[in-house]
Amino acid sequence: MVHNQQAAALDNLFTEQRSFPPPPGFAEQANVTAEAYQRADDDRDAFWAEQANRLDWQTPFSQVLDWSDAPHAKWFADGKLNASVNCVDRHVDAGHGDQVAIHWEGEPGDSRTITYAELKDEVSKAANAFTELGLKAGDRVAIYLPMIPEAIVSMLACARLGLTHSVVFGGFSSEALRSRIADAEAKLVITADGQFRRGKAMPLKRAVDEAVAGDDSPVENVLVVRRTGIDADFGDKDIWWHELVQRQSAEHTPEFFDAEHPLFILYTSGTTGKPKGILHTTGGYLTQVAYTHDAVFDHKAGQDVYWCTADIGWVTGHSYIVYGPLANRATQVVYEGTPNSPHEGRHWEIVDKYKVSIYYTAPTTIRTFMKWGKDIPARYQLDSLRVLGSVGEPINPEAWMWYRENIGRGRCPIVDTWWQTETGGIMISPLPGVTDTKPGSAMRPLPGISAAIVGDDGQPVGNGGGGYLVLDKPWPAMLRTIWGDDERFRDTYWSRFAEQGYYFAGDGAKYDDDGAIWLLGRVDDVMNVSGHRISTTEVESALVSHPSVAEAAVVGATDETTGQGIVAFVILRGEAAAAAKEGDDDAAAAHITELRNHVAKEIGPIAKPRQIMVVAELPKTRSGKIMRRLLRDVAEQRPVGDVTTLADSTVMDQISSGLTSGG
Ligand code: WT7
């Protein structure tokens, strides 16, 4: 019984008791108030119809949800709209053409300001260019670009023409790009000559050359933006963006598409090696991202300055840089570079420069800021900030509190937003004007969204219980299928609780005694030690609550006696880090003993790591996710597996060669 075991283990794991009400005055001006929960529950269809009517429909819809072909949903199916018109034209038509859409900040310090009127011209020109290349509604386009305005323009121009974009993160290899191009049969690739990374111009077009080489490539053209001036070889397929796009007319009359017309494919990793092409469609997706961007961030068009630090290569960038904010007429910051280029205060400098009021980032970034020290943000005003967001992984209470105190200065609500590439938009999150937040909890499903925590048998657990997170009712931005593999779509998400018809999210979660939801990480990362279920996240959280730990990653390693044993990898800071660097073995061993005891004290003796290894870096993907699979290989003394998706592929060598372990 999953929930009994898990509940037993979790009883003493969560000792977090703090709770923070919305700041005074926030509730009064909030976009969404508490009544929305009840209203949405009373009539879900009416609630979502109301949200859909935030958008401009060329043909209004008559039916909200068609679930007759479950698990394939149709939302607003007989309505027609154009996503790019909703994100751009309608704001210009309403007289907001001079409002800034994008404050773009390049890594080397160059910048561009783009108004909605200018964005409309750029998107129209790009749409005319894509048409000149012979592309037709339904064709697929791969976008492999750094965080430059042309990336956003390209996505919107695709949407305008009914082309389905597949954005591939600019940090992925040529092989990854090739397999994604092949799977989607993309006819066009949009790329740049190069990209700036930590002050250096790195080639990008070269990877495309490799990815489209050979006679069997479906790619007919490669459109190249000049960003760095780095050398790029040009062949028959290649065209410069500035030569093709800039000479186009800025007039473009849009067509309108069915609500269920495919908008984009985004590849995400699953449990097997082959990435899954998650398919999203137009009307439901745009409805949910616009609604959630408004409700969760309390966004006020024409007043707020919004900044989401994600890359458009990930779903966060699709939903909360491109489609949600632009549908809501946001003025937003888009930043090309890394947080420490050219110095560790770059984000805070940008916040002050543009008076950013809503800031949305990932826990891994927050923990990096913690490592750099609170003195850095302390040098900046940060007084424009009013809402802080977190996304991508469970946020440990220490990072949450650090974020609240050092960035929000105790004044800004934090919205910890749970969702996935597959859900398309935010699902579980506090509402900043309504919810009393708890450090580390995503709290409860948004109005209109339904989720449950169930045991192995699919039965809901009660307050205090833990199990699997499921989504028990369809939602507008849900994935429609896996591109080219509907069977995998059914298997991955709908077979685990087929009887109940629930979507299986793959995350463990628990309710606390008040019914708030705490995400516990992927269920494949939940360990089972002597019959006790312990989340890797829990142990990591305990470790990083110790003053000498900067970051921690925990894996369950196969253990003859206990089933799994807990193995922790830690990056030390302060004195402990210095001792480890100097090779002071006695001091290092003492620190490790102390850390094991600390975890035992924080969580309970069952959670005491079997082994703690001190490392200089953790293996992370380019989106910042720790690759526990590789750490498990080290912990289980196996040869290390495929490292190609690591941001820095040398990290595993460093770890394997420089281990200090004990316990
Ligand atoms: C997985 C989805 C959501 C956009 C970025 C990641 C984890 C995401 C949270 C959160 C705890 C979270 C889950 C989820 N996750 N947000 N607020 N608290 N866990 O999208 O790459 O599709 O990953 O990220 O494990 O299943 P993704």
Q: Which amino acid is at 300?
A: K
pLDDT for residue 304: 98
Question: Looking at residue 76, what DSSP letter applies?
Answer: S
CA distances from 504 to 411, 471, 538 (A): 36, 7, 22
Question: Which helix (H) or strand (E) element contains residue 266?
Answer: strand 262-268
Closest alpha carbon to 565 in 614, 532, 600: 532
pLDDT for residue 368: 87
The stretch 318-339 carries a mean pLDDT of 98
The stretch 540-567 carries a mean pLDDT of 87
C-alpha 621 – ligand 1 centre gap (Å)? 14
pLDDT at 464 over 60: yes
pLDDT for residue 574: 82
C-alpha 280 – ligand 1 centre gap (Å)? 17
The answer to whether the annotation marks 544 as part of a ligand binding site is yes
Alpha-carbon distance 125 to 252, whole Å?
Answer: 7
Q: How many CA atoms lie within 13 A of 523 on its CB side?
A: 21
Alpha-carbon distance 63 to 42, whole Å?
Answer: 17
Asked if 574 and 550 touch (Cβ cutoff 8 Å), the reply is no
Check: pTM over 0.80? Answer yes or no: yes
Least confident residue range of 351-365, 432-446, 530-544, 633-647: 530-544
Alpha-carbon distance 430 to 298, whole Å?
Answer: 11
Alpha-carbon distance 479 to 462, whole Å?
Answer: 28
Strands 532-535 and 549-559: unpaired
3-class SS of residue 619: coil
pLDDT at 189 over 70: yes
What does the block give as tokens for 311? 């890359």
Question: Looking at residue 460, what DSSP letter applies?
Answer: B
> 276: Cβ below 6 Å to ligand 1?
no
Q: What is the best residue among 418, 435, 444 to mutate for testing ligand 1's pocket, by most ligand atoms within 8 Å of CB?
A: 418
CA distances from 170 to 126, 142, 164, 302, 315 (A): 20, 11, 18, 31, 14
Question: Looking at residue 344, what DSSP letter applies?
Answer: T
pLDDT for residue 532: 64
C-alpha 520 – ligand 1 centre gap (Å)? 11
pLDDT for residue 662: 47
The stretch 95-111 carries a mean pLDDT of 97
| Cβ-Cβ contacts under 8 Å for 108 (sequence gap 6 or more) | 196, 199
Alpha-carbon distance 538 to 11, whole Å?
Answer: 12
pLDDT for residue 274: 67
Mean pLDDT of the residues in the chain: 92
Least confident residue range of 53-57, 87-91, 212-216: 212-216
Domains 24-508 and 530-660 share a fold: no
C-alpha 393 – ligand 1 centre gap (Å)? 5
The answer to whether the annotation marks 121 as part of a ligand binding site is no
Alpha-carbon distance 184 to 187, whole Å?
Answer: 9
Closest alpha carbon to 428 in 470, 457, 399: 470
Alpha-carbon distance 466 to 5, whole Å?
Answer: 9
Residue having the nearest C-alpha atom to atom 13 of ligand 1: 393
Asked if 556 and 565 touch (Cβ cutoff 8 Å), the reply is yes
Alpha-carbon distance 235 to 4, whole Å?
Answer: 63
CATH value of 24-508 in 2.40.30.110, 3.40.50.2300, 1.10.10.10, 3.40.50.12780:
3.40.50.12780
Q: Which amino acid is at 578?
A: A
Asked if 519 and 87 touch (Cβ cutoff 8 Å), the reply is no
| Residue predicted with more confidence, 6 or 508 | 508
Residue having the nearest C-alpha atom to atom 23 of ligand 1: 420
pLDDT for residue 363: 87
The stretch 612-624 carries a mean pLDDT of 88
pLDDT for residue 273: 47
The answer to whether the annotation marks 340 as part of a ligand binding site is yes
Alpha-carbon distance 405 to 382, whole Å?
Answer: 12
User: What ipTM describes this predicted complex?
Assistant: 0.99
Is domain 530-660 classified as CATH 3.40.1350.10?
no
Parse the chain into domains and list their residue ranges.
24-508, 530-660
| Cβ-Cβ contacts under 8 Å for 615 (sequence gap 6 or more) | 569, 570, 571, 654, 655, 658, 659
Residue having the nearest C-alpha atom to atom 10 of ligand 1: 418
Share of the chain above pLDDT 70, in %: 94
pLDDT band of residue 36 (cuts 50, 70, 90) is very high
The answer to whether the annotation marks 38 as part of a ligand binding site is no
3-class SS of residue 397: helix
Peptide bond before residue 275 is cis, with ω within 30 degrees of 0: no
Q: For residue range 358-417, list pLDDT tens digits in order.
A: 999 998 899 889 989 999 999 999 999 999 999 988 888 999 999 999 999 999 999 999
Secondary-structure breakdown of the chain: helix, strand, coil percentages, each rounded to the nearest 5: 35, 25, 40
